[in-house]
Amino acid sequence: MNKKITIIHVFVDGIIFSEMADRYDSMENVENLYYIYSPRKDYALKFIKDERVKIINDIDEYVSLFHNPNIDVVIFYSLPYEYYYLFDFIDDNKYVVWWAWGYDIYYKQGKNAPLIPMKEMYMPLTKEYMDIHEKKTLKTKRLLLFLYIHFRKIVNKFIAKNCNYPKPQKSQKEILSRIDSFYAPLDIEYSLMKEKQEVFTAKRCPRILTWNNVPFSFKEKPCNILINHSLTYTDNHLDVFHYLRNVEIETNRKYIIPVSYGIDGYGGNPNNLKAESKMDDSQTIWLTEVLPLNDYNNIISTASHAIYGTLRQQALGNIFSCLMRGVKIYLFEDSIVYKELKNNEYIVFSIEKDLNTQSLSICLSEREARINFDLCKQWYTSNSPANFRKFIGQEIEEKRTRNS
């Protein structure tokens, strides 16, 4: 399909916007509309500093875009409950893409159960800490959950009454059945969506990625060790620290622990985690400030090993940055990320079986690092803007043929 395609993007004010928009704008014969609705005429974007984003203050003007015949595609960047009402306005000819971020499939949306229920996201020591912490702080987690639920109710009332957002008329099942194409970072997640949600028939959508010509590299000598990516309980820090308790590393090596974002863990205070970690201060660097991507990649370049304690899909961008830079990765065997990477023949290691002094003293070989690098490059190049343009053009044509 060589005709011009017009895409409306549904997103929030976030730090990754410009990079994402650049990829879509690089596609030939595509017009991208970047709108955010706010009833407040004095509303100003906090994170996005990009002139491509237009703010619409009139709800009728905003929702009219979703049944405008000149718009071909609607792309949702995550699908939280707040977006559900838009499906009441999307006409049958629109091609709908959902890029899942994780929280929108692993956690409840509105009153709906999680789309992919995970039996457990917390390892034993992290779970124990959460339970003890609840008791010490009048059951903080339950209180936060209670407040969160009521906060969502307030938000929904605010949406319905003050923001002029219509109340969703369609059920979650109806919305799931309306998705034409779905992107999640892991193939396992797509399979689980198909398995757990019988009304979900969306095709697997290629993500738009660009290969930034990262040069191949590998570590000849062991150096710093990255641990996790954020201050969240699902990173399972305490269980990772437990496996490191009997590990010894050279005095010139450091553990680097990013805790600059993620407020759901340890009261949102990195000092609480530091106190529980029992890590040697002389060998530990806690990253408490958000860093520009280039600076963060420079830090990754100082690491020869990295440990990620997440069981759900999380920190994937960080993990791929490590894989393509020759960093040796450790994950829990029950991790959905570990299973996916092993299935795809990446060379990654088990926290339970492999995280020890000897293993941390040995880097990936040049051959092993090359295998991971080539797999990363293949993943990025196969998800190029050009491939997405071809895919979406064919899909629009087929959908309109079926509807005619």
- Kindly state whether residue 167 falls inside one of the protein's structural domains: no
Is residue 224 within 8 A of residue 136, CB to CB? The reply is no
Low-confidence winner among 70-74, 163-167, 210-214, 291-295 (lowest mean pLDDT)? 163-167
Average pLDDT score, the chain? 89
Mean pLDDT of the region 297-305: 89
For residues 361 and 397, state if they share a domain.
no
Is residue 117 within 8 A of residue 95, CB to CB? The reply is no
- Kindly state whether residue 195 falls inside one of the protein's structural domains: yes
Which residues neighbour 41 within 8 Å (Cβ) at sequence distance 6 or greater? Answer: 57
pLDDT at residue 400 is higher than 50: yes
Alpha carbon distance 107, 91 (integer Å): 28
DSSP 98-152: EE--SHHHHS-BTTBPPSS--S-SS-HHHHHHHHHHHHHTTSHHHHHHHHHHHHH
Q: Please tell me whether the overall predicted TM-score, pTM, comes out greater than 0.85 for this model.
A: no
For residues 131 and 9, state if they share a domain.
yes
- Kindly state whether residue 147 falls inside one of the protein's structural domains: no
Alpha carbon distance 218, 205 (integer Å): 32
For residues 243 and 202, state if they share a domain.
no
Count CA within 13 A, CB hemisphere, residue 306.
29
> Cα dihedral angle (165, 170, 176, 179), rounded to 10 degrees?
-70
Alpha carbon distance 39, 314 (integer Å): 33
- Kindly state whether residue 169 falls inside one of the protein's structural domains: no
For residues 242 and 331, state if they share a domain.
yes
Of 295, 105, 321, whose CA–CA distance to 192 is shortest?
Answer: 105
- Kindly state whether residue 141 falls inside one of the protein's structural domains: no
For residues 228 and 320, state if they share a domain.
yes
Mean pLDDT of the region 265-276: 91
- Kindly state whether residue 165 falls inside one of the protein's structural domains: no
CATH code of the domain in which 132 resides: 3.40.50
For residues 356 and 396, state if they share a domain.
no
Which residue's structure tokens are 């709108």? 35
Positive or negative: CA dihedral 299, 301, 303, 307: positive
Domain limits at 126?
Answer: 5-136+174-208+383-403
For residues 70 and 185, state if they share a domain.
yes
Give the type of residue at 267.
G
Give the type of residue at 202.
A
CATH code of the domain in which 275 resides: 3.40.50.2000
Which residue's structure tokens are 């059945």? 177
For residues 345 and 302, state if they share a domain.
yes
Q: Which pLDDT band, with edges at 50, 70 and 90, does 137 fall under?
A: low
Paired sense of beta strands 328-331 and 5-10, if any? unpaired
For residues 374 and 394, state if they share a domain.
no
Alpha carbon distance 210, 379 (integer Å): 10
pLDDT at residue 159 is higher than 50: no
pLDDT at residue 286 is higher than 90: yes
| pLDDT for the residue numbered 404 | 79
pLDDT tens-digit readout, 49-73: 899 999 999 999 999 999 999 999 9
For residues 366 and 244, state if they share a domain.
yes
Low-confidence winner among 26-30, 75-79, 212-216, 219-223 (lowest mean pLDDT)? 212-216
pLDDT at residue 236 is higher than 50: yes
| pLDDT for the residue numbered 160 | 46
Give, in order, the Cα–Cα distances in Å from 113 to each of 81, 105, 118, 271, 288: 12, 9, 11, 33, 34
- Kindly state whether residue 79 falls inside one of the protein's structural domains: yes
- Kindly state whether residue 150 falls inside one of the protein's structural domains: no
For residues 236 and 363, state if they share a domain.
yes
Q: Which pLDDT band, with edges at 50, 70 and 90, does 358 fall under?
A: very high
Q: What is the number of structural domains in the chain?
A: 2
Mean pLDDT of the region 349-364: 97
For residues 272 and 356, state if they share a domain.
yes
pLDDT at residue 247 is higher than 80: yes
